Amino acid sequence: MVFTWTAHRFSGGALALDVANSVILRFDPARRVDRFADVPALDAFAGAANRFCAEAPRFGALLPVAERNRARLLTLRETTDRHFRALTRDEQRPELLADLLEVIAAVLRGNGKDGSALDTATAHSALGLAANPEPDRLKICPNCGWLFLDRSRNRSRTWCDMAVCGNRSKAKRHYHRSKEEVQG
């Protein structure tokens, strides 16, 4: 089956979180999938983000990350995930924020005015979230492990995407240990 980026895969509510969510089931080493490990999928992410990412209009037309900057994007992704995941647990981990800010600085320094590149835009997105954290809106989907911003008025969202993870979780309760997999 050919992998495609769908609207579901942009449930994070911010570009930096959607990038972090390119790893599915982080908490389960046996089943985790890194969608950016596949270079064509990584290159296709920017175009899909233009269509589906809630924050994309802020950045204009996003372009794929340059080959020489791919490794740094992955470092940015991992430091983003570690910092914001710790934030959901209300952990005081200033070193994680420092790590994230260092990578953001490196991306911005390296890319200069190339603001439409995926890595530059992701750095700006992560910086915005880090500067104005919303810990009561930042959540982790209990089904797939993705980070997302709960923008609902009463902050009642449980799932990254009710139509996918909510339904799968219901199905799991009914058909325990069925073959259903998280849509990664």
Q: How far apart are CA 94 and CA 42, in angstroms?
A: 30
24 bridge partner residues: 33
Instruction: For residue 45, give both structure tokens.
Output: 């992410």
* Per CB under 5 A, 160 contacts Zn ion: yes
Using CB under 5 A, which of the segments 18-26, 43-51, 115-123, 162-170 binds Zn ion?
Answer: 162-170
**C-beta closer to Zn ion: residue 5 or 146:** 146
* Rounded least distance, CB 49 to Zn ion, Å: 18
Contacts with Zn ion, 120-159, as mask; x by CB under 5 A: ---------------------x-xx-x-------------
Give the DSSP letter string of 75-105.
HHHHHHHHHHHHHHTT---HHHHHHHHHHHH
- 69-84 exposure pattern, b = at least 16 Cβ within 10 A, e = fewer: bbebbbbbbbbbbbbb
* Per CB under 5 A, 165 contacts Zn ion: yes
**C-beta closer to Zn ion: residue 25 or 106:** 25
* Rounded least distance, CB 39 to Zn ion, Å: 25
**C-beta closer to Zn ion: residue 119 or 161:** 161
Burial class of residue 127 (count of CB atoms within 10 Å of its CB; 0-12, 13-18, 19+): middle
Interface ranges with Zn ion (CB under 5 A): 141, 143-144, 146, 160, 165
